[in-house]
Structure 1
Amino acid sequence: MLQEETAGERLDQSSCEALEVVLKSLCFDFINLQAARLEENGASSLLDMILYYESTAHLDLSDCRGVGASGWRALAHLVKQSVCLTRLDVCNVSMVNYPSQSLSKALQTSRHLAILHLDNTQLSGTPLFSLVGALKSNRALQELVLSNNQLNSYQDAMQLGDLLRFNSTLQTLELSNNLLADTGLEDLCEGLRWQRMGLKVLLLRNNHFSASGTLHLAKALPTLKTLEVLDLGDNCLENEGVQTLKEPLMMNRSLLHLGLAHCHVTCEGGVALAEFLAESRQIRHLDLRGNEVRTGGLMALALALRINRSVDTLDLDTTPKQEECVESNDSPQHHTLPDPIHQSANQSPNLYTESGKPPYRR
């Protein structure tokens, strides 16, 4: 694998033009310009050369804030015309106004770009409207990352719902660390219900969802035929939300990986998830790290794993939460209840801890 690293370097026009001898001689798997101090004319010249020589399959322009209008114009031309470029990362830069407009216009007719990462690019509002408008007709893009963009539960969520409704080629959508909330989840789920093919991975960590929001997801889950990965971690779903999702999860026949880390789930929710595991024939991975599932819930999960034949990874905290009991006032000894996960390890070889290794067997 050939890689070109210019991260953090100052690249004016003369420096970029000097790179031509390299670009015309070699084809790179990855050109990393992250945090490069690009000047507008230099950026324009460099991107034009990358297009002319079809120099790379993966280009990273994250943290490049000096690209300027002509640089963005050249990037749009690269996205539209290149047959080699399949992945573009443009993170931690502002895409307000011209940058979002030029890139969106290029995406309307782009036929080869398959992966686009736009993490922390101030996309909320008009920029997202432009992007979604282009992607409704795009048939090449398969992975889109829009995390950390302060996407809201109003116009932004409606746009994302439209994207899911009209785009059937997108396979991975990353929306973590936004502000979609329960009303935004409703719009997303309305779009999801139109998905008959395409979307396989949906990542929604830390979006201020509550148990109320799971009502919308419960309506969509049984209809989804291709979704394989759903991450709802770092949302306050609590036991009520897990109970709401239990039956729809049982009805779904495509989901392989479910993330519920740090969702304020206790033993009650653990028991509900154990009932789901006992019924599921396809789920492979369940993440329950950072919850308060104690002995009762762990016992239920251990029993479910004796029945389940599909799970190969169950992520739990490395030190499970345990209760203590007191024998009597006359004998104030504290006995830690046995860890049911360890007790059932010999019967449940599918069970794994946070590290991905089998639990300690006595």
Structure 2
Amino acid sequence: MSSVQEKCVSFKDKRMVWNTSIDVQGVVDALNNLPIVHQLDLEGNTLGVEAAEAIGEALKQHPELRSALWRDLFNCRTRTEVLMSLQHLANSLMYGSIKLTVLDLSMNNLGTDCFNGLDAIIRSGACYTLQELRLENCSLMPHATVLLARSLIQLYKNAEKENTPLKLRTITLGNNCMETEGCTELSEAFKVLKTLEVIDLKQNDIFLDGVSSLALALAENLQLRVFNMNDNALCEGLEDICLVLPQLTMLREIDFGECLIGNKGAFQLSQALENHLTHLEFLDLGFNHICVDGGLAVVKSLKNKENLRYVYLGGNCFGARGCQRILCEMNKLPTSGALGPFDEDVSEDDEFYVDTSLNEEGATDVATPDGSNPDGSNPDGSNPDGSNPDGRNE
């Protein structure tokens, strides 16, 4: 962390409609009245072309700007308006010799039509120092993702020529429908960058070929700490990723929830985790069609993960008896408290519920909905017909 306190101009979530330079006078005044501005947060407003130009002019006075937090900034704007507004902002960043470390344009409907505006910012000298790029839910689709990948490679080359090696650490591109085509091209950019610590590609319709390309890119980013592929189809591609995971010794978080890895994938992942990734803190494998033996294999692979704080296995195919077995296995670990709930975890033939509270002997109880024990006996130990377990009548 920097020892210098961040000076921020924030209009976050004001829900302002900024069309003209008059509309945005408050932002301009704030920028003009402060000698130092490290962060400009305009999230949750809607910015028009003339207003963007006015803010851009004011930004030229602040070469010390580091964070451009422009999430959800173009709601209800046409593609043309968004493109021209981004170009005005890009011009101000380049003119002012600004050196950004954070650029957040998430939740803006950029798509291919507006990509030239984004590209102008990314390729500029303002991004030679970029450490975090956040473009979640920007409707990039495959074509714009391909263009983004090429822009990142060009940015890397430009920064290298200027003797300011690019050190991009975080890239979040969730919910962009990039599909296999976009992921494959983006993986080529990741191979070039080699400095990524956070890769977030959740909800992007990525399938086998894209996953295999991504696995090769991971091997070039050995400082990776967070890897989020939630709600993509890893399936057979998981095998390639599992071959690389043991090399990622700094990995802290793995999110493979809703990735269709199945029981086979659970075993592959457990083999990759066992005796590796000792710094792991977070693991999400929820809703993956994993059976009991696969779940048990995963839990057993966590025995040397002393920093584990959360493991989610809900929504799989364990059934109550399977959940009980997994819970008992997890209770053998010093990090047993990390196990999340088994919500929505019911097999078709499931007739039991799980009580995760500990009894006096340290075991957990399983009971049927009518209150009887799993073997059919009543809570007091008698049989359902009222007789004693040994066959004697009172």
TM range (shorter): 0.7 to 0.9
Match of 2:134 in 1: 116
Which shows bigger deviation, 265-274 or 303-312? 303-312
**Residue of structure 2 in register with 1:60 after alignment:** 70
Q: Give the aligned residue type for 2:51.
A: G
Give the secondary structure class of the aligned counterpart of 1:52.
coil
Q: Are the counterparts in 1 of residues 314 and 345 from structure 2 also a CA contact under 8 Å?
A: no
3-state DSSP of counterpart to 1:315: coil
Please tell me whether the aligned partners of residues 136 and 163 of structure 1 are also in contact (alpha carbons under 8 angstroms): no
Q: Does 1:214 align with 2:228?
A: no
Alignment partners' CA distance in 1, 2:293 and 2:213: 29
Q: 1:68 to 1:341 in 2, by over 3 A?
A: closer
State the TM-score, normalized to the length of structure 2: 0.73
Q: Deviations over 1:4-48 (max 9, x none)?
A: 244341331232346422222245855224341x33222122133
* Match 1:22 to one of 30, 40, 43: 30
Deviations 1:208-259 (A, max 9, x none): 222x122112211112122211111112111121012111111422432111
Specify every segment of 5 or more residues in structure 1 that has no aligned partner in the other structure, as ranges.
326-335, 349-362
Q: Does 140-149 or 214-223 show the bigger shift? A: 140-149
Judging changes above 3 Å, is the alpha-carbon distance between structure 1 residues 130 and 76 closer, same or farther for their aligned structure 2 residues?
A: farther
Match of 1:93 in 2: 109
Greater shift after overlay, 310-319 or 199-208?
A: 310-319
- 2:66 matches 1:41: no
Alpha-carbon deviation of 1:79? 4.9
For 1:146 and 1:101, locate their aligned partners in 2 and report how far apart those are by CA, in whole Å: 15
- Check whether the contact 1:89–1:117 (CA below 8 A) recurs between aligned residues: yes
Superposed counterparts of 1:155-304, under 5 Å = 156-197=182-223, 199-210=224-235, 212-253=236-277, 254-278=279-303, 280-304=305-329
Distance (whole Å) between structure 2 residues aligned to residue 72 and residue 39 of structure 1: 10
> Aligned with 2:243: secondary structure?
helix
Name the CA distance, whole Å, in 2 between partners of 1:21 and 1:145. 32
Q: Percent identity?
A: 16
Residues 1:71 and 2:85 are matched in the alignment? yes
Q: CA deviation at 1:170?
A: 2.3
What letter matches 2:138 in structure 1? N
Is residue 341 of structure 1 aligned with residue 356 of structure 2?
Answer: yes
Q: Which runs of 5+ in 2 are unaligned?
A: 1-7, 158-164, 364-394
Name the aligned partner's letter for residue 14 of structure 1: I
Work out whether 1:142 is the aligned partner of 2:169.
yes
TM-align CA RMSD: 3.3
Distance 1:340 1:261 in 2: 20
Check whether the contact 1:205–1:234 (CA below 8 A) recurs between aligned residues: yes
Residues 1:272 and 1:68: Cα distance change in structure 2 (over 3 Å)? closer
Task: Render the CA deviation track for 1:257-303: whole Å, top value 9, x for unaligned.
Answer: 11111112232322222322345445432111222322343233233
SS of residue paired to 1:295: helix
Q: How big is the shift at 1:190?
A: 0.9
Q: Secondary structure at the match of 2:221?
A: coil
User: Do the aligned partners of 2:107 and 2:137 also contact (CA within 8 Å) in 1?
Assistant: yes
> C-alpha distance in 1, partners of 2:347/2:176?
38
SS in 1 for 2:283: strand
Q: Letter of the aligned partner of 1:73 in structure 2? A: Q
Taking structure 1 as the reference length, what is the TM-score of the superposition?
A: 0.79
Determine if contact 1:40/1:70 at 8 Å carries over to the other structure. yes
- Cα gap change, 1:2/1:19 in structure 2, threshold over 3 Å: closer, same or farther? closer
Query: When the two structures are aligned, how many residues end up with a matched partner?
Result: 335
Alignment partners' CA distance in 2, 1:345 and 1:29: 55
Alpha carbons of structure 1 residues 69 and 32: separation in structure 2 relative to 1, 3 Å: closer
Selected match of 1:129 from 149, 152, 155: 149
